[in-house]
Structure 1
């Protein structure tokens, strides 16, 4: 055998006959398709790291991440209410990381042990189709009590809390309004059940169902309804429950078992930056930024004018499994 051939064989054996792994990450993304697509593209353009995403509601993401714990399919989890991240942290699914941007995030809007960070905030609202409500002799809905009106039978769009962070925020809002009494909170949801069109897997779907007149009112985060308005649906109106409403703190975390943890941490740094958090309005996303250097958009919900419940994401996260299990057993099974 020629010396050159022998040398080539030796090199191949030493490297395991493999090609270098590409610098690439996969993001489990809990926001809209357009927002997710923009985020991974802008990240790649900014850093040179290739990125792709899979759109999943928070419940679906948590189950996928949990199921793949030993052979994780994602590197980063981005978006979806932080109570799901609290649950994931308790199960050892997150890899703590203190970002270089951590000091720019609003106080209290991140895990104190850096398992996750808040990336945006959204306020739970009613997305009213004024035309459909008028057909039923109703004005835009302004309270949780009004949502139980029998004229709304089969006309309220909401997701299922087993799959949707939006819906779990609605369920936990009832917990806070009822002194964290599970029986009373589930009692309200049971009373609402006859008015529900169907339980969606994704929370933002309710805005589109209201926009397309499939439902008279949707229970969504306000920025999802505003986004639907801007897609050309003039009959939509955002209102907030006068008894008080919950809010989400969208999460961001590096996943334990990430294939490319270094680039996953780069993604977290970039996503927490002011550069990234200014991008939402480009795709009609008007959630509140968590980076203190970025002002809230004029179309974002103003938490100083909306009555908010006290929403402790740590408590909500720890209670999530048992509360969702009861909802699924006593009120409605999760969508398939």
Structure 2
């Protein structure tokens, strides 16, 4: 097998988080209990226990969320950052003895697969009653916390030097000028990449036509990374010409100073994720886990990421949307069926490995 790029997931990071004060795919733990300030909440009001949270979105956003959660509730929490597919695999491996309580972030179709494997504990948060039905599972297995559209990111210098235009539709990625210059994640490890896989099937009109497209795209691909956001940084560093990832991650990189990046969103159909949260089945801290879910769905919790350059659209109708985020009303969104995408996830990834990435 060729073109597999893996980012290590074995790094363990302890961070000191003071109360009141994207990211690769590596596992990183952040604790909210190391600092003397973490005990500032009145002891009589501090719930007993400690949460462990597997996080599937940008690390700096997640660290900020852990700090704010501790400040708002007095509840201690450790977080470990991984890609969506890695979280699913870890929860599956720990099924008989769960080591975490919450799965926080990443495309909901990965949660749907976990739900089908009886890995999630249903919980209908009262906060979610006002949410659009498409942003939550009707039985409470998962609830959406943000929404993000897929986009293409191009290196402006490469485009200029090779007299190329930034891709504006999926077929543009097949241009001879992009041969060996496209980078995307592996759908087996990355929820971002699976969103792209499922989207391409819908845009092309059928599964057969979609896989024919993916087979033609394969020679264009330089690397399949583990992390869904890694392609954006690679394009920004000039290591590749074009990447496929979520638009919010591209905007974040642009804001961080990668002026060489150009964002385009496919006009012939943009897929999108509903980033979700769920309780892990047989969590040892279910009451605390419910408190975290309730908190995560509140407007203030969803807005936390904007302090760290998070540009996803938010699911709580009372939350303030990021001013530099993508306007979904201006996009040609596909009919992304989260339930179907989740149920078909394993089969489609197996088929991709057998027919495309062989």
> TM-score with structure 1 length normalisation?
0.90
Secondary structure of the 1:286 match is coil
Question: 1: CA distance between counterparts of 2:174 and 2:209?
Answer: 15
Counterpart pick for 1:111 among 122, 126, 137: 137
Counterpart pick for 1:121 among 137, 147, 150: 147
**Which residues of structure 2 form unaligned runs of 5+?**
1-46
Map 1:6-21 → 2, pairs under 5 A: none
The alignment status of 1:230 with 2:286, answered yes or no, reads no
Tell me which residue corresponds to 1:60: 86
1:73-129 per-residue CA deviation (whole Å, 9 max, x = no partner) reads: 110001110001111111111111111211232332100011100010000001121
Tell me which residue corresponds to 2:271: 246
Tell me which residue corresponds to 1:88: 114
Tell me which residue corresponds to 1:23: 49
Shift of 1:301: 1.0
Question: 1: CA distance between counterparts of 2:48 and 2:303?
Answer: 29
Counterpart pick for 1:153 among 179, 191, 207: 179
> TM-score with structure 2 length normalisation?
0.85
CA RMSD, 1 decimal = 1.3
Map 1:1-336 → 2, pairs under 5 A: 23-179=49-205, 181-332=206-357
Question: 1: CA distance between counterparts of 2:85 and 2:176?
Answer: 30
Question: 1: CA distance between counterparts of 2:130 and 2:319?
Answer: 10
Question: 2: CA distance between counterparts of 1:230 and 1:97?
Answer: 36
Report if the CA contact (8 A) 1:130-1:139 is conserved: no
Report if the CA contact (8 A) 1:182-1:323 is conserved: no
Structure having the higher Rg: 1
Secondary structure of the 1:167 match is helix
Report if the CA contact (8 A) 2:299-2:320 is conserved: no
**Which residues of structure 1 form unaligned runs of 5+?**
1-20
1:248-301 per-residue CA deviation (whole Å, 9 max, x = no partner) reads: 000100110212111111110110001101112111111000001013222111
